Structure 1
């Protein structure tokens, strides 16, 4: 049975951090730089996706499939389509929240700082919940466009590879939050969003606590 935010303290949890949504970018930068397996994996994937894109351009050009100008046009298509995928990305987050039991999901955006987020108001999410929610858009969208590349022309393969790389960059916040959870792997961690005040709270308790973890 899920607990509410009001029940956290009497279940042995104490406040660890509060993240104001307006301060999301410094938080992302901080935990992207932490030496965690999540951060290493994320950086490795970005380098791999970049090398894939470079290889596709080099191979297609060297074999005469297209000109460099045509490749750059399709690269720009991929960047443009990546921005169009932002609502879909956040919708997948919301679906993942609902799959884990959240009732009240919504979306928020800060256009000047260019961040977007799905919010599950007052839903207490444990480590497993958050891992599913955070990774869902990356896994779904990356898989879709890797499969699309298998059936695409040489030029459209460049567009799809660009989408994969650009979207991975857009996932930096998701991976930073996963890095935060790994950084605190010695604790049982839960989090919830306060939609009204635009704050996410992180609570922790000792791993040896007898209560069943979320």
Structure 2
């Protein structure tokens, strides 16, 4: 893609720079071309919606504050740690479902992230969004089912859902990025030799 002359590099970033990319796409940090970051209407509604959900959960929990099984909170943290490799494994399986030949795992101490990757495997933004969304969809569905069958552990399931959803923010951004650029013919791939992600547009 770099040498064919049929594609234009839109942007690239080192794996340690994933967080600035996420903040920029959320409208929290200024982009290189803007001095002041502004939230879009959709982003504002998203934050309002998340706040409303959080407030509702808080009210429901507050009604049972005396009887809350507090021991479920440390169990939820332990459960989240268990789910982290499961989360990345789902990403890896999604890559494999797209026929990626070289799938692996990595981490960034500076970026405070762990990740699954498909080495130099070119995907459309829609395919990348699908890979990004799968862990949230599968794990959330599983936790909702667990909540239904074991309601006595509602605090455990609810806390894990909340924490896992927060940790999925990077995946959400990739889905949003695909939607934002849906009218463009764009492709992306990761090069772990360079530890860099690339986004190209077809000319």
Q: Tell me the matched-pair count.
A: 192
Alpha-carbon distance change, 49 to 167 in structure 1, aligned in 2, over 3 angstroms:
farther
Greater relative contact order structure (CA < 8 Å, 6+ sep): 1
Poorly superposed stretches of 4+, deviation over 6 Å: none
Give ranges in structure 2 of 5+ residues lacking alignment. Answer: 28-38
1:177 counterpart residue number: 174
* Alpha-carbon separation, structure 2, partners of 1:173 and 1:148: 25
Q: State TM-score, norm by structure 1.
A: 0.79
TM-superposed CA distance for 1:36, in Å, is: 7.4
Contact 2:15 2:108 in 1 (8 A): no
Match of 2:191 among 175, 189, 194: 194
Aligned residue for 2:154?
157
The aligned counterpart of 1:211 is none
- Partner-residue secondary structure (3-state), 1:119: strand
Mapping for residues 42-191 of structure 1, pairs under 5 Å: 43=47, 46-47=50-51, 49-51=53-55, 53-61=57-65, 66-67=67-68, 70-71=69-70, 73-154=71-152, 156-191=153-188
Deviations 1:30-55 (A, max 9, x none): 11226375x56864664365245324
What's the CA shift for 1:146?
A: 0.9
Gaps of 5+ in 1: 207-214
* Counterpart Cα distance in 2 of 1:44 and 1:122: 38
| CA–CA separation in structure 1 for the residues paired with 2:123 and 2:46 | 22
- Aligned CA RMSD, in angstroms, stands at 2.4
Q: Structure 2-normalised TM-score?
A: 0.83
